[in-house]
Amino acid sequence: MVSSVPKLHALFVSKSQPVLRAAKVTNEERSTKSKLARSLARAVNSNPWSDELESSLSSLHPSQTISRTTVLQTLRLIKVPADGLRFFDWVSNKGFSHKEQSFFLMLEFLGRARNLNVARNFLFSIERRSNGCVKLQDRYFNSLIRSYGNAGLFQESVKLFQTMKQMGISPSVLTFNSLLSILLKRGRTGMAHDLFDEMRRTYGVTPDSYTFNTLINGFCKNSMVDEAFRIFKDMELYHCNPDVVTYNTIIDGLCRAGKVKIAHNVLSGMLKKATDVHPNVVSYTTLVRGYCMKQEIDEAVLVFHDMLSRGLKPNAVTYNTLIKGLSEAHRYDEIKDILIGGNDAFTTFAPDACTFNILIKAHCDAGHLDAAMKVFQEMLNMKLHPDSASYSVLIRTLCMRNEFDRAETLFNELFEKEVLLGKDECKPLAAAYNPMFEYLCANGKTKQAEKVFRQLMKRGVQDPPSYKTLITGHCREGKFKPAYELLVLMLRREFVPDLETYELLIDGLLKIGEALLAHDTLQRMLRSSYLPVATTFHSVLAELAKRKFANESFCLVTLMLEKRIRQNIDLSTQVVRLLFSSAQKEKAFLIVRLLYDNGYLVKMEELLGYLCENRKLLDAHTLVLFCLEKSQMVDIDTCNTVIEGLCKHKRHSEAFSLYNELVELGNHQQLSCHVVLRNALEAAGKIDRASGFWSLWTLQLSVPNFHLHEMSNSRMNGVEKLSSKSTRRVANAGKATLLALGKAFPSQVVPQENLVEGFLRDTKCDDAFIKEKLEHLCKTTTVKTRYTVLTREILAKYPELTTEGSPTIKQRLEIANEAVVEMALEASLGCIKEWGRPVEDITHIVYVSSSEIRLPGGDLYLSAKLGLRNDVNRVMLYFLGCYGGVTGLRVAKDIAENNPGSRVLLTTSETTILGFRPPNKARPYDLVGAALFGDGAAAVIIGADPRECEAPFMELHYAVQQFLPGTQNVIDGRLTEEGINFKLGRDLPQKIEENIEEFCKKLMGKAGDESMEFNDMFWAVHPGGPAILNRLETKLKLEKEKLESSRRALVDYGNVSSNTILYVMEYMRDELKKKGDAAQEWGLGLAFGPGITFEGLLIRSLTSS
């Protein structure tokens, strides 16, 4: 190894010395123009743009003209794009005439800096800025197309390409190459195909070698190696000879696809062809990696030696790739041979940090920790700098062996040497340090752990679990402020702490009296879509009030009322008193009114006593009048005190008006203040009023007295009582009810009679067996009509959906994610319209779908489109299958019943896009799906204790879920690159039949009527298929009409997965209305799905009294 040093030194000297000499010559011959450009750029970079700066620039260049070279050099040296654009305009105003080069340079500058809107505006202003001298060309558009692509905005690249064509500017081969590269990097293989066809057929642009290399690389990276091969063969048609890059791309794609033997044949073919294209070090290294990935190490070694025999010099990547493969195969002796062989006069290989990391990891994986530490020490001896990977594998291994002291030593060394802040290409993995973070935080050393964690953050490494570990560690040590600071950092990076972290931190901040920080944390918790329990609100409010934070206390009480959080009368009273004492009586009265409007009370006697004691008699007067307005009993002695106090302070009118109010309510005999009031009136010279008052009081002594009534309890929980005039059955207090229902479907209707012909046409299938099988299934499903998102326009845009074996998950999600939310939106709007209340009254949303995958989920997009409050509580239920609708009802029921006053929007939305596949005899269940499933959405509003303005039609009395042990494989769904693959066991109907009776009896028992039989109830059953309905009907001996709503939903819509139960319930609602008083009161809602899971609801009809 030492022998290689002189060679490397010689190489270093031979290459660097000429460069230094050349630089010296250049410095001596710098032109005046270059000096001026640097001076101008220095002035622009050092000062904000202003009139003074423009004057300075003019003084640097006093002459009226400035050279083109100086302008271009200055633009290249300016650091901020906005300043560059101002300089561009400044020289133009000084008489400089910009040409194509400076416009292009400015556009490139804006694009590289991601100032894309400015760049777009600049592009379309070029002709105006140049007075028509510079015409828009394809290269300007190419530049901005690339900039959009580099920023990940491929759709903007496509839009700009379309605009370019509309303006009559013909795209060049460079344009197409840029756009093809962008599309393929984003996995848009279908769009790339279409663009390639457009390039050749519409515009007649001949693809070049770069075009083919881009296509081949893109298809290989998207796991479409066969398509890449087809493109490879087409190169000859365009007289493009594959170069070594082309071959290397094909070899790499084959190796990544596991087709290493074929890749080897491609390389062998290169050797046999008598052309100028020969395999290079990249070709062999790629093949070595491919064999190593397949654990075919002998083949990898043979390729390596073949490379050497052909005079090719392996590089560090080659050696490290082979060493990694050998280490994973535990062939350590051969690694020594490779290292020794790499130091001959030919190869001059010196192990680098990557080499040592491979060896360290290999020893750690084999359990040879001491050997790994020796390799680490040898690395140091060779003056190589260990990187984050070197430390992370050793620290993780030491932690796994519970050798935390040694791990801590390395951990501290890692921090002190600032290894994580190094500029090496190896990006640290936070997960590797998690065990150390956990150990330090559990042993009172959280600050030490945080130092390293912050170094990781500086490298752009983010790890939400580490935040929680550190926050918990600080809280455990009683250091709640640092924990709060970490939580703020976590949220700034758009990571959401979990509920436990928030609650732990709030509790800790309250313990140390940090009421404001606790209040801020609570607000952040709400913005993270968590709704804390009432006791958390109460604890924060108590500390705020205790520490006299009047404004914050006011805000928190109003927030609690808005969120329908249960109030505490002692705390409410304390806050109102605090507001009065802080000279904020308007807020105090507002809080009192809001509390009473929402069904809550305050300790009025205590407040009135406080106001009287502190001579706030006018406020006391207002408060007593409020009590009278709300019919709340007020202690008569307190009223006497208020009136006498008003008289004492010469507020005779207020005293007299309050006395009259009390007399009108029949309290004249209990008022002892009449003498004081009469004397005060007389003393004020109001003799007539005093005489009239005395006569009135004497007259009313004979009138029987009436006491103030207590406030009605009809709203004590903040919810209005149902009107007694309702003709509906009254819902049980606190039980969730269905208040409204809506549904939606895509525009494409599929009559079952037309399905076979259309399906086979769209999938280009002419197999007679498949046609016969599908026709039979279409008849047995009993479905008549379905709706689908999948149109012929979509299939034309994404032809790969009908191609067997194509990786199309990206395309499917691109269609499904948008369609699912749009259907959910339409269903929700219909539901809200039927409900009749403002959309702002929705407090929770439960979003159910098995057809969407993305973050954030459709619940957020739907909430935004509906205009829900940004603090609406969201629950997302993904991939539950057919029982998802009843699960959603059960979850919404729990929310409604545990959050008084809440209103929950449950929406379900499904599409078959993910499961659509071309027919294949090997997958018979695909045909079942084609014959049975449909697309659509549904929505319901759920809430307890309905208001008079609401029309509940069903009560969700009881809910239960259970699964059948050992049946998890009966319904099997797997997400693959081709979509979702479903398999449905033939024994599903039998399994349901064997267990349904016991499950239904469990639900019925909650109705409280032991004499009730199955036919005494109405039935809303998810129609998974006619076989399930038939089995259930037979097993429970149900009358034919009992499952009519389920069969009708199946006929009209097909199986729409989670939505279908809501379609059934809508039909059931209509049926119960028709029957009127003859309708059954109790019913069951059932659904079955993967697990096998049973979901059940005991439902009470409220449609008749």
As annotated, the active-site residues are: 882
The SS3 assignment for 910 reads strand
373: left (phi over 0), alpha (psi -120 to 50) or beta: alpha
Phi/psi of residue 849, nearest 5 degrees: -160, 145
Cα–Cα distance measured from residue 455 to residue 467, given in angstroms and rounded to the nearest whole number = 13
Specify the DSSP element, H or E, that contains 939: strand 936-944
- Which of 859, 880, 885 has the alpha carbon at shortest distance from 870? 859
Cα–Cα distance measured from residue 639 to residue 623, given in angstroms and rounded to the nearest whole number = 11
562: how many CB neighbours lie within 10 A of its CB? 13
The SS3 assignment for 742 reads strand
SS (H, E, C) 1056-1077: CHHHHHHHHHHHHHHHHHHHHH
Here the tokens at position 1006 are: 């909650």
**For residue 545, what are the CA distances in angstroms to 189, 511, 555, 581?**
62, 15, 12, 12
Here the tokens at position 958 are: 């009881």
Here the tokens at position 319 are: 């050696």
The SS3 assignment for 469 reads helix
- Which of 946, 837, 954, 844 has the alpha carbon at shortest distance from 892? 844
The answer to whether 862 touches 769, Cβ cutoff 8 Å, is: no
Dihedral of the CA atoms 113, 119, 120, 123 (nearest 10)?
A: -140
Cα–Cα distance measured from residue 192 to residue 187, given in angstroms and rounded to the nearest whole number = 9
- Which of 485, 548, 486, 492 has the alpha carbon at shortest distance from 515? 548
Cα–Cα distance measured from residue 140 to residue 106, given in angstroms and rounded to the nearest whole number = 10
Helix axes 446-458, 480-492, angle to 10 degrees: 20
Contacts of 661 (CB under 8 A, 6+ apart): 625, 628
Q: Which residues pair with 742 in a beta bridge?
A: 939
E strands, 206-303, are: none
Here the tokens at position 875 are: 């629950």
Dihedral of the CA atoms 1074, 1080, 1082, 1087 (nearest 10)?
A: -60
Helix axes 100-112, 116-123, angle to 10 degrees: 160
Burial of 165 from C-beta contacts in 10 A (0-12 / 13-18 / 19+): middle
Cα–Cα distance measured from residue 68 to residue 902, given in angstroms and rounded to the nearest whole number = 69
Cα–Cα distance measured from residue 55 to residue 693, given in angstroms and rounded to the nearest whole number = 86
Here the tokens at position 120 are: 């777009």
Length of the chain measured in residues: 1105
Q: Which residues pair with 960 in a beta bridge?
A: 1096
Q: Sheet containing 1082-1089: give its strands across.
A: 873-878, 844-849, 904-910, 936-944, 736-744, 954-963, 1093-1101, 1082-1089, 1018-1021
Cα–Cα distance measured from residue 1096 to residue 25, given in angstroms and rounded to the nearest whole number = 87
Determine the longest span between alpha carbons in the chain, in angstroms: 129
340: how many CB neighbours lie within 10 A of its CB? 10
DSSP assignment, residue 50? S
The answer to whether 320 touches 355, Cβ cutoff 8 Å, is: yes
